[in-house]
Amino acid sequence: MGDITLFGLPISLGTMIYQALIFTVLVFILKKLVFKKLVGVLDSRKQHIENQLQLTEQYKLEAEKNLELSAEVLNQARKDAREIMRHSEHEAKLMILDAKAQAKDIQKEVKEDAFRSQSFMHKDSKGA
Amino acid sequence: MEHSRPQVVLFNLTFDLSIILTTTVASIMVFLIAYIATRNLTEGIPKKLQNFMEWIMDFVKDIMNNSLGPNNNLFILSTGVSLLMYLFIANLLGVPFSIITIEEHPVSWWRSPTADAHVTMTLAIMIIAYTHFIDIRLHGFKHYLHSFFKPFKALFAINILEQFATTLTLGLRLFGNIYAGEVMLALLAGAITHGFAIASLAAIPLLIWQAFCVFIGAIQAYIFVTLTMVYIAHRLT
Residue A11: enclosing H or E segment and its boundaries? strand A9-11
Segment A10-30 shows an average pLDDT of 83
pLDDT at B212 over 50: yes
pLDDT at B220 over 80: yes
Ranked by mean pLDDT, which of A10-24, A54-68, B56-70 comes out on top?
A54-68
How many independent structural domains does chain A possess?
1
A45 and B86 within 8 Å at the Cβ level: the answer is no
Distances A101 to A90, A93, A108, A109 between C-alpha atoms, Å = 16, 12, 10, 12
What's the rounded Cα separation, in Å, for the pair B80 and B229?
8
Tell me which residue in A26, A27, A37 faces B38 most closely, judged by beta carbons: A37
Neighbour count for residue B40 (Cβ, 10 Å): 10
Which band of pLDDT confidence, cut at 50, 70 and 90, is reported for residue B2? low
pLDDT at A2 over 70: no
Return all residues near B116 (Cβ < 8 A) that are at least 6 apart. A15, B16, B19, B175, B179
Query: B31, A34 in Cβ contact below 8 A?
Result: no
Q: Which of A29, A35, A42 to mutate to test the interface with B (most CBs of B within 10 A)?
A: A35
What's the rounded Cα separation, in Å, for the pair B122 and A20?
6
B106 DSSP β-pair partners = B102
User: pLDDT digit string (tens) for A52-91?
Assistant: 999 999 999 999 999 999 999 999 999 999 999 999 999 9
pLDDT, chain B, mean: 82
Rounded to the nearest 5°, which phi and psi values hold at B70? -60, 120
Rounded to the nearest 5°, which phi and psi values hold at B107? -120, 125
What's the rounded Cα separation, in Å, for the pair B129 and B133?
6
What's the rounded Cα separation, in Å, for the pair B220 and B218?
6
Tell me which residue in B14, B86, B113 faces A2 most closely, judged by beta carbons: B14
Q: Which of A17, A33, A34 to mutate to test the interface with B (most CBs of B within 10 A)?
A: A34
Query: B23, B113 in Cβ contact below 8 A?
Result: yes
Count of A-B CB contacts under 8 Å: 111
What's the rounded Cα separation, in Å, for the pair B178 and A36?
32
User: Angle of helix B196-236 relative to helix B117-146, nearest 10 degrees?
Assistant: 10
Q: What is the pLDDT of residue A125?
A: 62
What's the rounded Cα separation, in Å, for the pair B14 and A16?
9
- Which among B178, B161, B189 has a CA at the least distance from the CA of B215? B178
Give the residue numbers in A contacting B (CB under 8 Å), as ranges.
1-3, 11-20, 22-27, 29-31, 33-39, 41-42, 44-45, 48
Q: What is the pLDDT of residue A1?
A: 47
- Which among B224, B230, B226 has a CA at the least distance from the CA of B88? B224
Q: What is the pLDDT of residue B110?
A: 78
Residue in chain A lying closest to B54 (CA): A38
Rounded to the nearest 5°, which phi and psi values hold at B3? -115, 140
User: pLDDT digit string (tens) for B91-109?
Assistant: 888 777 767 767 677 777 7
A25 compared with B153, residue with greater pLDDT: A25
Which band of pLDDT confidence, cut at 50, 70 and 90, is reported for residue B1? very low
Q: What is the pLDDT of residue A62?
A: 94
- The residue segments making up the domain with residue A13 are 4-127
Q: What is the pLDDT of residue B213?
A: 86
pLDDT at B9 over 80: no
pLDDT at A127 over 70: no
Q: What is the DSSP string of A58-118?
A: HHHHHHHHHHHHHHHHHHHHHHHHHHHHHHHHHHHHHHHHHHHHHHHHHHHHHHHHHHHHH
Q: What is the pLDDT of residue B113?
A: 82
Query: B221, B120 in Cβ contact below 8 A?
Result: no
Query: B210, B189 in Cβ contact below 8 A?
Result: no
Q: What is the pLDDT of residue A83?
A: 94
**E strands along chain B, which residues?**
7-10, 13-16, 99-102, 106-110
Q: Which of A3, A4, A9, A12 to mutate to test the interface with B (most CBs of B within 10 A)?
A: A12
Task: Please tell me whether the interface predicted TM-score (ipTM) of this complex is above 0.85.
Answer: no
How do beta strands B99-102 and B106-110 pair? antiparallel
User: pLDDT digit string (tens) for A95-123?
Assistant: 999 999 999 999 888 888 888 887 777 76
User: pLDDT digit string (tens) for B161-200?
Assistant: 888 898 889 888 988 888 888 888 888 877 777 777 777 7
Chain B positions in Cβ-Cβ contact with residue A52 (cut-off 8 Å): none
pLDDT at B132 over 80: yes
